[in-house]
Amino acid sequence: MLLGHCAHARFVWNLACEQHQHWRPGRSSAPGYVEQSRQLTEARKAFGWLAAGSQTVQQQALRDFAQATANFFAGTHRRPTWRKAGRHEGFRIVGKRGKQWDVRRVSRKTGEMWVPKVGWVRFRWSRQVPDGVKSFRVARDRAGRWHVAFAVVPQPVPAPGTGAVVGVDRGVATSAALSSGERLSVPGLRETEARRLLRLQRRLSRASRGSKRRADVKAAIARIRARETDRRKDWVEKTSTELARRFDVIRVEDLRIRHMVRSAHGTMQVPGTNVRAKAGLNRSIYAAGWGRLVTRLEQKAPGRVEKINPAYTSQTCNACGHCDAKNRQSQAVFVCRACGHAAHADVNAARNIAAGRAVTAREGPPPGEPVNREPQPVLLST
Ligand SMILES: [Zn+2]
């Protein structure tokens, strides 16, 4: 039944997507929420399988699409895109608790939520459901695990008020280097897990399409990947909270600029074989975690995150200001050619970032203003 809800929500969303993609300059505008909602009522009359689903779920998908479209035109989000079966399995319920939906605690470890057309569904009570919850989202990840997330707008993490400033540099060997000298790494897959993943991927390429074997291998790969994602997300949450608690101002690189700088100069001066390819892979993995870390920082410490022009932060000596590509002797070692100052390359860069000035106007909302923080998923018991 839950998968049915997901399928209906996806179907309605994709229809809305199609209507909007059909639009070309000169054509009359694509239907908005009110018109789409009317069309949904008609479609439910015509198709029994659609009517068998929950109207609340289907209508909410349209409302979500309208919001996504509004966000796109406001310039804050990308254009809403197609949702795929197996990849985007989820639906949202919005409404009054106790009326359209409900949640209750059954025991210390279990809770139950009431889902339209399904009834009470058990889940593992992994954290407190806050008061004033108006919506929740049920989703199934690629590893086949169900999650429920109750949405609230939490208070930002309070600043320590000490005036402490930190610079954070994204590195390849170190995921995040702090100007305080700490080097933090995203926990990835263990050696044995990575080897198993590689073996499974080889097996997948040999398995014939549509076979049961292929589906099994795919599921096993999804489970390992989910583990990796979970660890990265966990690291991002813990790190962002810690930084927001410890420092008043957090300075990070503005990656949109960094990207251009990097591609123009080509700063990977790493000797050895195959290192470039590996570094590229690592970078892409860390990139995902990095973007999320900055987003979460801006949400937890609104107005306290500053984006810095990252040009030459990795080549400039933090002690004397001498800028030379040769200062960076290897991926990890920084030795200044002018004053002899030696440091870990990422930490030296982080100190330059800490000393930098904000270059962009695109910052978080002013301090104290609550922002929409993403609700944390809760694992459902199955
Ligand atoms: Zn120097």
Rounded-to-integer distance, Cα 331 and Cα 329, Å: 7
Catalytic residue from among 64, 89, 169, 298:
169
From ligand 1's centre to the CA of 249, what distance in Å?
Answer: 25
| Residues whose CB is less than 8 angstroms from the CB of residue 287 and which lie 6 or more positions away in sequence, other chains included | none
From ligand 1's centre to the CA of 154, what distance in Å?
Answer: 44
From ligand 1's centre to the CA of 317, what distance in Å?
Answer: 5
From ligand 1's centre to the CA of 98, what distance in Å?
Answer: 65
Helices (H), the chain: 2-21, 33-46, 48-51, 55-74, 191-206, 212-246, 255-265, 275-300, 345-355
From ligand 1's centre to the CA of 338, what distance in Å?
Answer: 5
User: Distance between alpha carbon 373 and the CA centroid of its chain, in Å?
Assistant: 12
Q: What is the pLDDT of residue 256?
A: 63
Rounded-to-integer distance, Cα 94 and Cα 97, Å: 9
Q: What is the pLDDT of residue 365?
A: 37
Rounded-to-integer distance, Cα 10 and Cα 65, Å: 10
From ligand 1's centre to the CA of 299, what distance in Å?
Answer: 36
Burial of 191 (0-12, 13-18, 19+ CB in 10 A): exposed
Rounded-to-integer distance, Cα 157 and Cα 248, Å: 11
Catalytic residue from among 89, 254, 306, 346:
346
Q: What type of residue is 323?
A: C
Judge whether 314 and 345 are in contact, CB under 8 Å: yes
From ligand 1's centre to the CA of 171, what distance in Å?
Answer: 21
Catalytic residue from among 253, 254, 298, 306:
253
User: Tens digit of pLDDT per residue, the chain (382 long)?
Assistant: 999 999 999 999 999 999 988 888 888 788 889 999 999 999 999 999 999 999 999 999 999 999 999 999 998 888 999 999 888 899 999 988 888 888 999 999 999 999 999 999 999 999 888 888 889 999 998 888 999 999 888 889 999 999 999 999 877 667 888 999 998 888 888 889 989 999 999 999 998 888 999 989 988 998 998 888 888 889 999 999 999 999 999 999 887 644 443 443 344 444 444 445 545 555 555 556 778 889 899 999 999 999 988 788 888 898 888 888 888 888 788 999 999 999 998 899 999 999 886 554 333 333 443 443 444 444 454 3
Q: How many residues are given for the chain?
A: 382
Judge whether 333 and 341 are in contact, CB under 8 Å: no
- Is 254 catalytic? The answer is no
Q: What is the pLDDT of residue 283?
A: 53
Q: What is the pLDDT of residue 92?
A: 94
Q: What is the pLDDT of residue 313?
A: 85
Rounded-to-integer distance, Cα 84 and Cα 382, Å: 23
Name the residue with tokens 């080097």.
183
Q: What is the pLDDT of residue 284?
A: 55
Q: What is the pLDDT of residue 273?
A: 44
Closest CA to 376 of 287, 308, 299: 299
- Is 89 catalytic? The answer is no
User: Distance between alpha carbon 160 and the CA centroid of its chain, in Å?
Assistant: 26
Rounded-to-integer distance, Cα 193 and Cα 196, Å: 5
Q: What is the pLDDT of residue 382?
A: 38
Rounded-to-integer distance, Cα 82 and Cα 369, Å: 33
From ligand 1's centre to the CA of 275, what distance in Å?
Answer: 28
- Is 35 catalytic? The answer is no
